[in-house]
C-alpha cells in the first residue's frame, strides 16, 4: 500500500536524520522528491553513513539537540512540515546504563518537545514516533508481543522508549482528538544493513573485525532477536505516515518486525554473516560473566500491521545479510556508497 509517489513535493521533517536509519530514510525520501528537513545532532559515529553517502547534500540539514525545544521550534517554523517522522533517540542499551539521565532526557523529553512543536505547528497532518520492540514488559516467552501487551522496558533505554510511547498516547488523547493531526507509533525490531557504524551492535562489530582481519567476538550468541533489513521498517513507517495522512482511521500503534523464520540467535546471525562475507570469516564466543542485563528472547507479533495494510516482509534474513555484506564490501573498497544505496532502494521497492 506504500506509494512513494505520494511523497513527491511533500514537506517532511525527520528527527534523528544523521543516524543510521535516519540516513537511509532521508535517502528514500529525497529520491522520491520530498522536501526533507532533518533535525539532529551531528552524526553519532565516525565514519557515518550520513557523511560518506553525502546525505546532507540532498536535504536541508539542521544540526540541533532534540532536548532544545526552542531550536526545534525554529526548525518547525521554517520547514512547516506536513509529515513528521521522529527517530531521534539515544538508541544503545549499554550506553543507557552508562548515562541513564541523558537517555531519559533525549528519549522522553525529546518526545515531549517534538509533540509540543507539532501541537503548535498548524501545517502538520501526520506524525509517527519510532520506538522499539523493547518497550514491552519482557516475560522471555516464546510467542510474539502484541500491541496491547503491558509496556515496561527493563533497562534505561528500553524503559525510556516505553515512556516515549506513553507520552505519545497522552498527547494523542489530550491534544489531537480534533482530527487535524494523525498520530502513530511504530515498535520496530532489530535492523541490519549497510552503513551502520554504531558501537555495541553485532553487524558493525562484524564489519570492523573484517576490516581489521580479525575473528568476530560475539557477546550474546544465544540471544534471540527479530532481525530485518533497515529498508523494511522504513517502508512501513512511510506507509503508516501516508495512510494516516489520507485517512485518520489508520492511526494507532504498530509492531514492525520480520516473520518468525527470521527471528534468529545472534550466533546464527553471525554464521550467516560469515557465509556471505566468505574470505575465511569466523567468530568466537566472548560472553561476559557480569554484563549488563539484556533480554535473551524477544519476538513481535506483527499480525496487526499485516492485517491493516496487507503488508508482508520483502527480504528474509539471508537476503538481508547478502545486501549488508555487499554494501560493506563496497564501502571497504572505497566505492560509491550513495550509488549502492540507490541500487538497494530500487531493488527493494520494485519487488
Superfamily of domain 7-289+298-350: NAD(P)-binding Rossmann-like Domain (3.40.50.720)
Helix 337-350 × helix 317-332 angle, to 10° = 160
For residue 84, with 0-12 CB atoms within 10 Å meaning exposed, 13-18 middle and 19 or more buried, which class applies? buried
CA distance 136 to 152: 5
**Per-residue pLDDT at 123:** 98
Mean pLDDT of the chain: 95
Is residue 296 scored above 90 in pLDDT?
Answer: no
- Residue in the block written with cell 521550534: 73
- Encode pLDDT of 58-110 as tens digits: 999 999 999 999 999 999 999 999 999 999 999 989 999 999 999 999 999 99
Is residue 30 scored above 70 in pLDDT?
Answer: yes
Q: What percent of the chain has a predicted confidence (pLDDT) above 90?
A: 88
224-229 and 263-265 strand pairing: antiparallel
Is residue 294 scored above 80 in pLDDT?
Answer: no
CA distance 345 to 314: 12
Q: Tell me the domain boundaries of the chain.
A: 7-289+298-350
Going by C-alpha positions, the residue among 260, 275, 269, 190 that lies closest to residue 228 is 190
**Per-residue pLDDT at 351:** 62
Is residue 7 scored above 90 in pLDDT?
Answer: yes
Is residue 140 scored above 90 in pLDDT?
Answer: no
CA distance 49 to 280: 27
- DSSP, res 262: G
60 SS3 class: strand
**Per-residue pLDDT at 269:** 96
pTM of the model: 0.95
**Per-residue pLDDT at 298:** 82
| 88 CB-near residues (< 8 Å, 6+ apart) | 15, 16, 19, 22, 39, 40, 41, 66, 106, 110, 114
Yes or no: say if 254 and 305 are a contact pair by the CB < 8 Å rule.
Answer: yes
266 SS3 class: helix
Yes or no: say if 17 and 81 are a contact pair by the CB < 8 Å rule.
Answer: no
Yes or no: say if 111 and 86 are a contact pair by the CB < 8 Å rule.
Answer: yes
CA distance 8 to 240: 16
**Per-residue pLDDT at 265:** 92
**Per-residue pLDDT at 292:** 73
Yes or no: say if 254 and 187 are a contact pair by the CB < 8 Å rule.
Answer: yes
**Per-residue pLDDT at 297:** 74
Is residue 50 scored above 80 in pLDDT?
Answer: yes
Amino acid at each position: 500500500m506504500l506509494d512513494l509517489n505520494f511523497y513527491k513535493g511533500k514537506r517532511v521533517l525527520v528527527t534523528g536524520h544523521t543516524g543510521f536509519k535516519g540516513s537511509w530514510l532521508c535517502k528514500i525520501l529525497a529520491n522520491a522528491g520530498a522536501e526533507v528537513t532533518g533535525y539532529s545532532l551531528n552524526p553519532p559515529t565516525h565514519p557515518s553513513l550520513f557523511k560518506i553517502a553525502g546525505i546532507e547534500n540532498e536535504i536541508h540539514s539542521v544540526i540541533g539537540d532534540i532536548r532544545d525545544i526552542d531550536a526545534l521550534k525554529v526548525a518547525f517554523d521554517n520547514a512547516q512540515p506536513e509529515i513528521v517522522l521522529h527517530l531521534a533517540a539515544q538508541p544503545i542499551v549499554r550506553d543507557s546504563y552508562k548515562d541513564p539521565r541523558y537517555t531519559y532526557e533525549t528519549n522522553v523529553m525529546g518526545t515531549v518537545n517534538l509533540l509540543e512543536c507539532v501541537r503548535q505547528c498548524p501545517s502538520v497532518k501526520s506524525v509517527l514516533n519510532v520506538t522499539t520492540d523493547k518497550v514491552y514488559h519482557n516475560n522471555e516467552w516464546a510467542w510474539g508481543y502484541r500491541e496491547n501487551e503491558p509496556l515496561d522496558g527493563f533497562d534505561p533505554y528500553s524503559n525510556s522508549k516505553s515512556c516515549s510511547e506513553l507520552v505519545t498516547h497522552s498527547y494523542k488523547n489530550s491534544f489531537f482528538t480534533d482530527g487535524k493531526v494523525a498520530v502513530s507509533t511504530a515498535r520496530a525490531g532489530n535492523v541490519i544493513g549497510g552503513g551502520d557504524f554504531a558501537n555495541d551492535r553485532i553487524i558493525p562489530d562484524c564489519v570492523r573485525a573484517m576490516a581489521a582481519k580479525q575473528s568476530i567476538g560475539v557477546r550474546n550468541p544465544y540471544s534471540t532477536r527479530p532481525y530485518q533489513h533497515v529498508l523494511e521498517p522504513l517502508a512501513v513507517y512511510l506507509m503508516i505516515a501516508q495512510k494516516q495522512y489520507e485517512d485518520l482511521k489508520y492511526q494507532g500503534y504498530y509492531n514492525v518486525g520480520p516473520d518468525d523464520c527470521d527471528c534468529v540467535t545472534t550466533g546464527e546471525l553471525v554464521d550467516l554473516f560469515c557465509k556471505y562475507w566468505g574470505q575465511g570469516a569466523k567468530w568466537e564466543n566472548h560472553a561476559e560473566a557480569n554484563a549488563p542485563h539484556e533480554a535473551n528472547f524477544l519476538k513481535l507479533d506483527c499480525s496487526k500491521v499485516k492485517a491493516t495494510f496487507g503488508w508482508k516482509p520483502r527480504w528474509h534474513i539471508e537476503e538481508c545479510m547478502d545486501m549488508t555484506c555487499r554494501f560493506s564490501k563496497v564501502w571497504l573498497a572505497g566505492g560509491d556508497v550513495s550509488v549502492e544505496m540507490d541500487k538497494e532502494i530500487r531493488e527493494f521497492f520494485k519487488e
